[in-house]
Chains A and B, each alone.
Chain A
């Protein structure tokens, strides 16, 4: 049996307005990077808050590192978290903010300087938090989450406000942590980033888990797609007809035909289009990716 970092069974949170999270079930194995995705308002942050003991579930159970979330004091010393963006005292320096948390958690104060350097804030640790840019605040939030040298790291949108270089640094850091045995549970809107680093994915839609499992299993559920553009946009309808005639699903979006089918069928399509007198300006088979799969499964194109 695989050891689990997080195990969620029928977890629910109901408000007067309805379910924020409804009967969620998923598991995250130890030592993996698990992406947590869903449209805005899908219930990601509510789930994270329940896992951290900040809000009480109205139904179901969950365990973190084998301990029930009804007793967060049993596991939180081994968990690092940044929830809904960084939150610190504006009048204190970044370093002093971390020292407050290190003191509270009983961690060595010397760890603060090292973490400041790890997240790329060396030289700015003494500046007041209110003078930080969004990217620097985000880095400090990650440093705070790393304070306990966590076994489980929960990060909610860690790359918000970071420049491409910063995003790559965070990606490398998370990979390094995972290779050292840390379980990383990370929510992000940057699906391409998650696809690069995640082995597991939990996908939420309107408070319900629509997929939980390995990234490979998720992508295998989706058909490869062939993208087709024609010289004359009116010819796209004919392309769709050709696809339907061969038993492939096809739709037109933004003057591009999206045809579900294996890459090999692209040659057949090219031949049939030529025979029908249609000039193709683009014919590109694409493997399923997380972004497309996400849109398919959540119905969210916002």
Chain B
């Protein structure tokens, strides 16, 4: 499997893909973190969906990573797009047949690709975490937020916990992208269906009947990144999100192993 990981990494480290994805991630991270501090007194809110996050929250030990946790869902969508494209383009380019001739173990191919993409996501999350925390520190003075508790042992614990949650969320989003890529075998279909579902359909369903959001996969994964929300507990989101990902992965892997490669 190690050979599959290295082979996949050769594709992922391509500058256009690597820096392009990192650029998008940093853009959203910068935007979210900056708004959180610069619009702290705004009537329209300074967090996602117009919520207001005040100084009393940002002054806490977890204040340094609040912006980073908020951007977790967007980072997840970026990961979904990358994982979906990297998987489904093997079908559209016809390169899957080359891979399978050189490595006939189909599950090995799948696991190797997943591992390499997880590594890619981990690097992405690590860099965005560093940038988000740095931005928070830089903007805290201007927003009159106290950073006294941020780098205490409790503060580091919060940083570690948030980093883990965002990583889990981003990787789960990525796996959803990979599942869509394997099922639909087209980058355009996989990405558009995935993004449409998470950004629009789930929100529409939630607007019609808010209780739906308790069960929507995208919402569970975003909630994992945030370490839980006012509406959904962390354990509920983690259990349900993990279940969705496992079931989807089993179905997609089964199809990948059994399906004829005819293109």
- Which residues, 183 to 214 on A, are CB-close (under 8 Å) to B? none
Is B93 a contact partner of A96 (Cβ separation < 8 A)? Answer: no
Interface residues of B, Cβ cutoff 8 Å to A: 3-4, 6-7, 10-11, 14, 16-17, 89, 93-95, 97-105, 260-262
Cα of A186 to Cα of B10 in the assembled complex, Å:
31
Is B95 a contact partner of A53 (Cβ separation < 8 A)? Answer: no
Contacts of A56 in B (CB 8 A): 260
Q: A81-B101, A105-B102 are in contact. List 10 more A-B contacts (CB 8 A).
A: A53-B100, A54-B261, A55-B262, A73-B105, A76-B101, A87-B93, A88-B93, A91-B17, A100-B11, A148-B102
Contact of A89 among B3, B11, B100 (CB under 8 A): B11
Cα of A103 to Cα of B13 in the assembled complex, Å:
14
- Which residues, 30 to 79 on A, are CB-close (under 8 Å) to B? 49, 52-56, 72-73, 76, 79
| A55 and B260 in contact, given A87-B98, A89-B11, A105-B103 (Cβ under 8 angstroms) | yes
Tell me if A's interface is mostly helix, strand, loop or mixed.
loop
| A105 and B16 in contact, given A76-B101, A88-B95, A144-B98 (Cβ under 8 angstroms) | no
Is A83 a contact partner of B103 (Cβ separation < 8 A)? Answer: no
For the complex, count residues of A whose C-beta is within 8 A of B.
31
Which 4 residue pairs across A and B have the least CB separation, nearest first?
A87-B94, A55-B260, A104-B7, A105-B102
A78-106 vs B, Cβ < 8 Å mask (1 yes, 0 no): 01010111011111100010011101111
Cα of A101 to Cα of B90 in the assembled complex, Å:
13
Is A104 a contact partner of B103 (Cβ separation < 8 A)? Answer: yes
Tell me if B's interface is mostly helix, strand, loop or mixed.
helix
Contacts of B16 in A (CB 8 A): 91
Shortest B55–chain A CB gap in Å is 46
Is B93 a contact partner of A104 (Cβ separation < 8 A)? Answer: no
Is A76 a contact partner of B94 (Cβ separation < 8 A)? Answer: no
Cα of A21 to Cα of B101 in the assembled complex, Å:
21
Cα of A55 to Cα of B100 in the assembled complex, Å:
11
Is A104 a contact partner of B104 (Cβ separation < 8 A)? Answer: no
Beta-carbon nearest neighbor of A77 in chain B: B102
Contacts of B10 in A (CB 8 A): 92, 96, 99-100, 103
Is A53 a contact partner of B260 (Cβ separation < 8 A)? Answer: no
Cα of A89 to Cα of B6 in the assembled complex, Å:
16
Can you show 8 pairs from A to B with CB atoms below 8 A apart? A49-B260, A76-B104, A83-B97, A89-B95, A92-B10, A99-B10, A104-B7, A104-B103
Is A55 a contact partner of B7 (Cβ separation < 8 A)? Answer: no
Contacts of B95 in A (CB 8 A): 87-89
Shortest A91–chain B CB gap in Å is 6
Is B261 a contact partner of A103 (Cβ separation < 8 A)? Answer: no
